[in-house]
Amino acid sequence: MTLAIIVLVLLGVASGPLMATVKQYAARRLMGWMLVVAWVMAAHAILSGADPIARMVGICCVLLGTMKGLVYAEWAKGRSLPFLRYLVFSFAWFGMDPGTFRVRREGLSWKGDLGWGIVLMIVGTLGAWLVWAMEWRQIFVMFLPMSLGFHFGALRVLKASLRAAGYPVRTLFPNLLDAQGIGDFWSKRWNVGYSQMMQRVVGRPIEEKFGASAGIMAVFVASGLLHELAITLPVQAGYGLPTAYFVVHGVLTLVERARGRAFGRVFALLAVLLPLGMLFPPAFQQEVIARCLEVFSLMEHLFP
């Protein structure tokens, strides 16, 4: 089972340079999306009956690998990355900008990111332990320390490591408290790499044919569908809720655009956090997020 998932990931990554040789953009995009769907469905079948956490990890790895290939093929357009740098882009970074790995630079700052990353990892881990020990199981309370430790801690340590190696990668999760509105939050504050990916493979192609508003809405709808694959498919419950969550945020972004000004920081953060139970349906909260906290129970047995 594990070997089959690894093979799917490798094939998804390997598809990038191959698809990049297809000259027609439409054909290349169609091939890429067909591969994404086919490989995720294959992973779903392979992991049928597996533990929900294992299903989530497996499906997400296959999805990430195939999306890396699709993004690379879309980016290439006569350009290419050396083989080893393509592997670094594919397997050592969660960002989605292959161009970051074209040229290595000297003198990049990284120590500050390393220090802050370690601090946030420690704070997030201690927070998650407290949530587990106190048996708090509300979605926001569970998600906050996990996100703090991984998104803002571990990924910043990874950023520091790559910058120390000469790759000018950027922070994937800049200061959320600087968000000026819904559109600003999703495009510049939360997972910048994912935002870049969706603009490259969904937003721009749709915008070219149907206009900016259609491109924006397409990004949010596609985001909802991709989150269905990563969240509801592993637990096989709550279908439609993540899509509804992103559709609402897409509509709010279009309203911001139409009115000519953002809703503001407080509204944006509340709009993201209050319906978090839609993004993470109850089954996912119980079978994946809450159970991830049980790692502290295992550690308690190993180190009494």
pLDDT in tens, 146-175: 999 999 999 999 999 999 999 999 999 998
- Per DSSP, the three-state class of 259 is helix
The contacts found for 281-284 with CB under 8 angstroms, 24 or more apart, are 281/231, 281/232, 281/235, 281/237, 281/238, 281/241, 281/242, 282/237, 282/238, 283/232, 283/235, 283/236, 283/237, 283/238, 284/52, 284/231, 284/232, 284/234, 284/235, 284/237, 284/238
Band (pLDDT 50/70/90 cuts) for residue 304 is low
Phi, psi (degrees; rounded to nearest 5) at 50: -75, 165
Number of structural domains the chain divides into: 1
pLDDT at 178: 87
Chain-centre distance of CA 209, in angstroms?
26
| Integer-rounded Cα radius of gyration of the chain | 20
Answer whether residue 12 is part of any domain.
yes
pLDDT at 27: 86
Answer whether residue 38 is part of any domain.
yes
The Cα–Cα gap between 232 and 37 comes to 15
| Domain that includes residue 79, residue range | 1-99
Burial class (CB in 10 A: 0-12, 13-18, 19+), 208: exposed
Alpha-helical runs (H) found in 211-294: 212-227, 233-235, 241-259, 265-273, 276-279, 282-284, 290-292
Answer whether residue 76 is part of any domain.
yes
Answer whether residue 55 is part of any domain.
yes
Q: How many CA atoms lie within 13 A of 275 on its CB side?
A: 15
pLDDT 10s digits, 79-138 = 899 999 999 999 999 999 999 999 999 999 999 999 999 999 999 999 999 999 999 999
Q: Are 289 and 146 in contact (CB under 8 A)?
A: yes
Is it the case that residue 266 has pLDDT exceeding 60?
yes
Answer whether residue 79 is part of any domain.
yes
Answer whether residue 4 is part of any domain.
yes
pLDDT at 303: 57
Answer whether residue 293 is part of any domain.
no
Answer whether residue 136 is part of any domain.
no
Q: Are 273 and 199 in contact (CB under 8 A)?
A: no
Q: Percent of the chain at pLDDT above 90? A: 85
